[in-house]
Every structure is written in C-alpha cells, then in structure tokens.
Amino acid sequence: MSDPVQLFHTCLVNEIGPEVGMAAVRLLERLGHPVGVPLDQTCCGQPAYNAGFHDEARSAARHMLRVLSATEGVIVIPSGSCADMLVHQYELLFRDEAEWREKAHAIAGRCRELSQLLAEEWPRMPAGARLRARVAYHPSCHLLRGLGVRDAPLELLRAVEGVTLAEVEDQEECCGFGGLFSVKQPEISGRMLERKLAAVAASGADRLVSCDLGCLMHLAGGLRRQGVGLAVQHLAELLDEALP
C-alpha cells in the first residue's frame, strides 16, 4: 500500500465534470494510494484573484489552507490552473502576512498536478494500458507556463499501447479560454478558439485531450457549435479508459 493522498477536485470537476474526479481516484487507487477527499473544500479563490478581488480571494484561500492543513500526504490536483493557484499564487496573496504565507508555502510543497504524479509513478501501474486512438493533446497555459509541466502528459499518452500522438500546428498556443479573459474579450477568445480547432482538425485526431477542464469545456463548446463530433477528454479519463 502506498502513502495516502488528498484529492483537491476543483470546482469545475466537482460541479461539471465529476467523472474526471472519479477517473483520477481510480488511477490513484490503482497505484495503491488510499485517496482522501476533504469534504469542506471549496473554490481555491482563483476567479476572484484573476478578477482583482484579492480580499475575497484571500478569504477563500484561508479556508482552503485550513482544510488542507488538517490533512496528510500529497495533495493531487487534476488541473494545472488550480494547481498553479495553490503552488504559486497563494504565497503572493499572503506576502504581507507571515503566518498565512508560511501555511501557503507548506501546502505548496505538498501539491502535485495529477499528470506530474502519474508520470512519476506510472512504472508501478499494472501493465496492459491499451487504447486505439489518434490523440491531439492541448497543453493548457497554466500547466505549461505556470507549473512548467510539458513532458508528463505526453509521456503518459505514449505509455498507452495503441495511442498515436497527432501533430498539432502551434500546439502550445492558448485555446482562448483564459478564464475571465473569454468573458471580457469574447471576440479575441473566439478567434483564438477557431485557430486552435482548425489546427486540431488538420491533425487528423479523433480525440482531443487536455489536463484542464476549463480548456476542455471551451474547446468542446466550439466543436459543438461547429457540428464536429470529435471526442474531448481529460487525460485522467483517457488513462482510466485505457487500463484493464
């Protein structure tokens, strides 16, 4: 039995894509981790933070720091966006409050984005991951540029027998979601989305995979409006599907 871990499921997973959370739990349990899900967890405060409401963001962050500080083990987050908030932005929020800054630093040291942890521990995963699919991978901005995670998701996709990685032009460009950016700048966001979807279509992929549900919702909405039936999945869902 491996060490226990805590799942910070994020708002979007909890409210809109619970299947992503369930897939993450199954993957972690396959690795032998007992998985805890702190029941009092709420939003990490990122929407308020990005909108400039830092007092409100600090209130949400204090609550989450209390909740997570009462747990033990690695905190696993199936979202580069929320992981970046906990790992980097909490300490900035509390840079003038020593006690909370220390709590934020301690929690940051326990956090791992899901694909990071899975890539590190995949050699212990039971063998037999197979799935016939041509996959276009979208690296979300917070995962790639915030956390610096570039290779882990690709390593995991390559570890699945039968998966072919499609070549996507300008793969590391933003999809146009950007949280509040897509609300404040809808025309620019829409153009960026069109460019991304055109590149995915040209790749010949039959699945579009990412590690952030916000990006996936944005991409899936664009595909639906275009009448394109391309499958859109969180990486956790694909890996869970591929394992026997």
The neighbour count for residue 225, using CB atoms within 10 Å, is 11
Mean pLDDT of the chain: 96
* Burial annotation 59-84 (CB, 10 A radius, 16+ → b, else e): ebbbbbbebbeebeebbbbbbbbbbb
Retrieve residue 140's tokens: 């979300």
Q: How far apart are CA 225 and CA 204, in angstroms?
A: 19
Q: How far apart are CA 236 and CA 100, in angstroms?
A: 32
Residue 85 has pLDDT above 90, yes or no: yes
Position 141 scores a pLDDT of 95
Mean pLDDT across 38-63: 96
Return the CATH class of domain 127-242: alpha beta
Q: Where are the domains of the chain?
A: 5-118, 127-242
The region that residue 32 occupies, defined by phi over 0 for left and psi between -120 and 50 for alpha, beta otherwise, is left
Q: How far apart are CA 12 and CA 140, in angstroms?
A: 15
pLDDT band per the 50, 70, 90 thresholds, residue 95: very high
Q: Are 25 and 32 in contact (CB under 8 A)?
A: no
